[in-house]
Amino acid sequence: MKFSNVAVGAALIAVSAASGASAETRFVSIGTGGVTGVYYPTGGAICRLVNKTRREHDIRCSVESTGGSVYNINTIQNGELEFGVAQSDVQANAYDGRSQWEGKPYGDLRSVFAVHPEPVTMLATKGSGVNNYTDLKGKKVNIGNAGSGQYATWQLLEREGIVSTDDLSLATELKSSEAGAALCDGKIDAYYWLVGHPSASTQETVSTCDAQLVNVEGPAIDDLVDKYSFYRKATIPAGMYNNEEDINTFGVGATFVTSAAVPDDVVYTITKSVFDNFDDFKKLHPAFKDLKEEEMIKDSLTAPLHDGAVKYYKERGWM
């Protein structure tokens, strides 16, 4: 549905009547990612809090499993989704007109808030000889499906000369939900994704087969983090996934985004539903446990904040 067209179309009224909902009910959808990642439960957590008070504001929220960050922003831009979860680097690329949006910046992209940090998390079989990303040459590596933030990150790393698809013996484009099984079945030597921790899928892969987390560090990564403000150094603590030592890597932040075309009152209501119930929100996934409210409106956001979100943050005295 495109909110920019009219308040409520005839088809929506018909659907509302058929479902017993108010004729004024508005429906919003959140694009997330694969069901095994953290984006899908992130969208679910937001919708759960919105729908909890739906009788007060007549907004109903649903979650869609999608191809990931790039897909979500493209679909918001096309007016097919109202909200989405996206990596901070993909958000920056869209707003600034880089990568998939080269020369065509999406100026109406708007931030709502940041969510959890997402370290680049690389797993490899112990017999592969991969202990750092620098050991990938000649290996079979999953670089992610087109439309995912994972794939977009690989493309940026390749443009920066940090990795090269040509150096791999095989580059697969599996979804993140498929990569763990491919590693355990010996079809690939390594894969990476950007995910909030703890991650059930990562734990399952480590527990199921002879897999280990490996470092993504070195001078080239240091230069990358210095160059792009949406990247930062990250550590996956020892013991989280049977790793004896800290894993040194870098990462992005997961961000919740929308379009300037979505009405202010809708964005205000979504924002209020999360932050008025913040303790409940943090309990909805382990990756949320260290979130701090005021940091979520500053970190990892490249596109401007939506006016509806700004209204709420000013009411709280955060701006």
DSSP string, 22-54: -TT-EEEEEE---TTSSHHHHHHHHHHHHHHTH
- What does the pLDDT profile of the chain (319 residues) look like in tens digits? 444 433 333 333 333 333 444 458 999 999 999 888 889 999 999 999 999 999 999 999 999 999 899 999 999 999 999 999 999 999 999 999 988 899 999 999 999 999 988 999 999 999 999 999 999 999 999 999 988 889 989 999 999 999 999 999 999 999 988 999 999 999 999 999 998 888 888 999 999 998 999 999 999 999 999 999 889 899 999 999 988 999 999 999 899 999 999 999 999 999 999 999 999 999 999 889 889 998 899 877 889 999 999 999 999 999 9
Q: Can you read off the two tokens belonging to residue 73?
A: 């922003």
**Is residue 3 assigned to a domain?**
no
Number of domains comprising the chain: 2
266 & 286 share domain:
yes
**Is residue 221 assigned to a domain?**
yes
Nearest CA to 284 out of 116, 150, 32 is that of 116
Query: Which residues have a Cβ under 8 Å from the Cβ of 240 and sit 6 or more positions away?
Result: 197, 198
Helices (H), the chain: 10-19, 39-52, 54-57, 69-77, 88-96, 149-159, 176-184, 200-208, 219-227, 264-275, 278-282, 307-315
Reduce the DSSP state of residue 221 to 3 states and report it. helix
Show which of 252, 267, 285 is a domain's final residue.
252
**Is residue 296 assigned to a domain?**
yes
Structural domain range at position 123: 118-252
Place of tokens 């004024």: 24
CA distance 69 to 25: 28
- CA 314 to centroid of chain Cα atoms: 26
β-strand pairing of 170-172 with 140-142 = parallel
Show which of 229, 252, 275 is a domain's final residue.
252
170 & 208 share domain:
yes
**CATH number, residue 172:** 3.40.190.10
153 & 244 share domain:
yes
50 & 176 share domain:
no
Supply the DSSP symbol for 154.
H
Q: Can you read off the two tokens belonging to residue 226?
A: 């210095």
Show which of 222, 252, 282 is a domain's final residue.
252
pTM for this structure? 0.81
